[in-house]
Every structure is written in structure tokens, then in C-alpha cells.
Amino acid sequence: MGGRRYPQASRAADPVRRVVGWRRVLSAAALVAVVGCGQGAMTSAGSQGSSTTTVSTVDVDGGGHRLFRDDSWEFPVCRDLPELAAPPEAYQNGPPHVPDQTAKAEVEAWAESQPAYEGIWTDRDDHDGWISVAFSRAAEARQRDLEEEFPDVRAVAVPVERTRAELEALAGRVGTELRPFLAERDWVSIGPSVHKGVAHLKVGVLTAELRSAIDKGFTGAPLCVEGTDPASVPAAGPQPEGGDGWRLLADEDGGLGNRWPIGLAADAASYTGLWAGWDSPVPEVDFQDYVVIGFVADHPSSCPEIRLDDVTVAGDIVYPEIVNLAAGRICTSDAVPHAYVVALERSRLPSGPFVIQIAAELSGRDRLTGRLKVDADLSAPGAVADPSAIDDDASLAKAARSGVEGVEPGDARIYRFDARCGIEWLGEVNGAVWRTDELMPEEWESAVAPHGAVKVTITLQAEPEPLIEATAHGKTIVYKPTLDEERPKCDQP
């Protein structure tokens, strides 16, 4: 990244061996200041070194939104800055990992009584699971104290150049001076990021006007800025009823009758199957001139504003252009399926074979979750393909994950796992294996893709005992950690 680089504490050149234990998932989530600007901008408080929330903002999401990045701009994107770290030798002789959920609280209580203490966080970059304790003076002495006070805890003293008070003061000035530019925004997060050595400003859409104001008031300041690139935000407007060679037949929450994220009908019989499960009347379609395609996109329950703008045919690929109109807003991390069904003129179809995808393949976008392979020519009037010529793309089954790291208590995450052997084995979350003794409920059966991947929303609970709640189609299954890491065996590969 170009632009100004801020002086940072040294980072370890060689990460220590990655050691994880299931109880480390119990560390408390940090505080965050996310405020509606009707309340005014404010700085985050508390002793935590970092800020976390269930807000999900990706570089390229399902609606094509991007974070603003410009190598010529002085202010780095907050998520691009690494966490500060202790000197490499501090990690070399660490004790064996002891899974103790109270360790961080005990270290924090001790650190608060020490001079020049600035903050505490759990390192998730290079030293997964280590407790980082920031000191603006005498970090070497505090390192020796930590080793003496907590010989069985992986904790290091991290030297920082800026105090929490300095970063809070900067954050307060940002909130005050930029208030006229932030007053109408849906949400703003302003505060100290001690774990990265800067103050942070996170907004919804990072407009040119706001960037100019930041340049004018804070050039040279240790500030990171994060927001959506306005060039990637679609214009507001209603759902179109159709476009070049296509018309909209259905637009409503829910999946398709065939359970796939993509459906195709070239005759009345397959059209009836595609419409199964919906109470609304079936629109008439002339299958001499049209085929029917269904696309299922996901949206957060709190941000349902998505829109189908067009159906694109590019070479041998057909895909919808579905945009997310909730750019820069706070959205939950759950997923609600939303189906669009369109009639597409046969004359627009490739002669075959061709594929139908749930989205265009773009750099930075998550792996595609749906692709239908069609080994037939449906462009001719009334043409119908043999059922064996239409198949879900098995290569996308790799999108089913067996594990994920960095899940904090209370976070809601979208998670895919392989259910071909049943749902007993959820996979590894935060280094632990999670299982249930419940059978697959009927509600989940409709969520299973043809090649075995099931998509659920998982939420980690730390107290009174560790468990994961996995939810799909309104049904929740509880998973608990186990020491048995062997996956159940079945006849599936």
C-alpha cells in the first residue's frame, strides 16, 4: 500500500508454532463504538485494544461493493494494518498452551495496576492465541514481570509509541471536526485502535467530500480510515420488471422448489417443479420462445434491500446482476434466501453447452455458491434438454468448509459444511471439534445442496458452557466441543 507509513512496533519474523485449544474461544469480545450520527460521533471506551462487532463488510460482497483504496491517499484502510507485536524472542520460549478462559481477565487486572499500560488484546495475526499487553514505556521490564507473574500463560508485553490517551484525543478531534460531514450517516465508528497504533474512523460510504475533509484536517496524523468506495454503490431505484430479452416472474424471500441456488425450466413440467412450495399463482410462459431461470441470492435479515438489475449472457455464461442497496450500513451476518425467477428469451442463450451462475466471477468476491451446467442447445424454439444434460457443478462442493477460526462469542457467521454423512460432525471451529447427537431436522433437508453442502448460521456461546447454535430455515441445532477429532465414517467419498 502506498501513502504514509506510520512507525510501528517490531513484528515477529518467524511465527511460533500454531497451537490452539478449544477454550480460547471463550475470550470476551472487545467493545466498539458504532453510533448513529443522530447521537453524534463518539470515541470508544474501555481497556480493550481492539474493536469487534457483528457488522460484516467485505471487500467485494454479493452486491459488488468495495472498500475504498487508493495508493496515493495517505490514510491506510484499517483492516490492512497489521497488529503490533512484541520482539520475536518474546515468543520463542513461551509455555505450553494452557486452555484457561480466565487467563486474559487475570492478566488484564494485573496490567491495569502497572505504569504506562495502554491496552490488551488477543493476537490473531501471527501469534494465534497469545495475549498482547501494550505498554508505552518499559515494555522489556513488563515482559519479565509477565513471565514471573504468569508462567503458564502465553502473554507478551508489546511496546507502543502512542498512548491510549493520545489516540483517544485524536479520535475525539476527528469526531468533533468531521461532525458536519458525518451527521447524516447511518453509522460511524471512531476510537483508538491501540493494537494497531492508530485511531480509526469507519464509516458507511467514504465520499469524496469526506475524504477531502479528512485530508484538510488530519494529514500526518496516525489515523486509519475505512469505508465503502462510492463508485461501487448502485443508484437507488425500484426493482425493474424486466430488461433486454428477459422479464421478472417472481421476487420474494425463500428458495426454489428444487433446493438448488439455481433452477432451469424449459417446459411446463419442469416449470411446475421449480415453482413447488410457493403459494403465489404460476405466471404464464410461452416455452416456444422462453426458458425460465431461478436464482437464489442471500441477504442479511436486517438489510433486505437487494435488487435484480439485469440478466447477462457473456459467451457461454448466464448470470444475474444482483446488487445490494444497503452499502455502508450495519447489517447482521445471518443470511435469508431470496429468489428471483425470470423468463429469458431463447434467442439470447448460447447454442450449448453453457453454464448458469449465481453471479459473475470477480476478483475479491467469495467463491461462487451455485453453477448449473447445461450440456444442450436450448436456443431453438421449444427445445427441451434430457435431464442428464443438466447438472449442478460438483466442483463447487469444495465451498463446503470443515472449519473456521476467529469466531467470537455472540458473532453470527455463515458456515458451510458437508452433510453427506449427516449433521453430527459440524467441523472445527476455533480449533475445536464440534458435534451434536441430534438427527437432521426436516427444515434442514431443504437447505442441503445436491452435492451435500449445507449452509447454516452459527453463533458461539461462551457461558454458562461453550456451545454453538447452528440455524437454517428457522431450526436450530446445538453443537458442543469434543476431544474426538475423527470424522464419522460413511459410504460417501
- pLDDT tens per residue, range 175-200: 999 999 988 766 788 999 999 999 99
Query: In angstroms, what is the C-alpha Rg of the chain?
Result: 26
Tell me the torsion sign for CA atoms 216, 220, 223, 225. positive
| Residue 416 CB neighbours (<10 A) | 20
- Band of residue 64 on the pLDDT scale cut at 50, 70, 90: low
Nearest in space to 263 (alpha carbons), one of 303, 295, 287: 295
- Band of residue 367 on the pLDDT scale cut at 50, 70, 90: low
CA distances from 371 to 305, 317, 360, 391, 451 (A): 24, 10, 11, 9, 12
- Give the integer Cα–Cα distance in Å for 200 and 403: 31
pLDDT digits (tens, 9 = 90+) for 291-306: 999 998 888 888 888 8
- Give the integer Cα–Cα distance in Å for 443 and 288: 36
The whole-number average pLDDT for the span 80-106 is: 80
Q: What are phi and psi of 239, to 5 degrees?
A: -70, 120
Please state whether 259 falls in left (phi above 0), alpha (psi between -120 and 50) or beta.
Answer: left
pLDDT digits (tens, 9 = 90+) for 370-396: 788 999 999 999 999 988 888 877 666
349: pLDDT strictly greater than 80: yes
pLDDT digits (tens, 9 = 90+) for 395-424: 665 444 456 767 778 777 878 887 877 888
Q: Residue 492, CB half-sphere, CA atoms under 13 Å: how many?
A: 10
267: pLDDT strictly greater than 50: yes
- Band of residue 352 on the pLDDT scale cut at 50, 70, 90: confident
Share of the chain above pLDDT 90, in %: 39
The whole-number average pLDDT for the span 332-337 is: 74
- Give the integer Cα–Cα distance in Å for 187 and 202: 9
| Residue 31 CB neighbours (<10 A) | 15
236: pLDDT strictly greater than 90: no
- Give the integer Cα–Cα distance in Å for 272 and 375: 22
- Give the integer Cα–Cα distance in Å for 309 and 243: 8
pLDDT of residue 54: 29
344: pLDDT strictly greater than 90: yes
CA distances from 314 to 179, 264, 294, 317 (A): 45, 18, 18, 5
436: pLDDT strictly greater than 80: yes
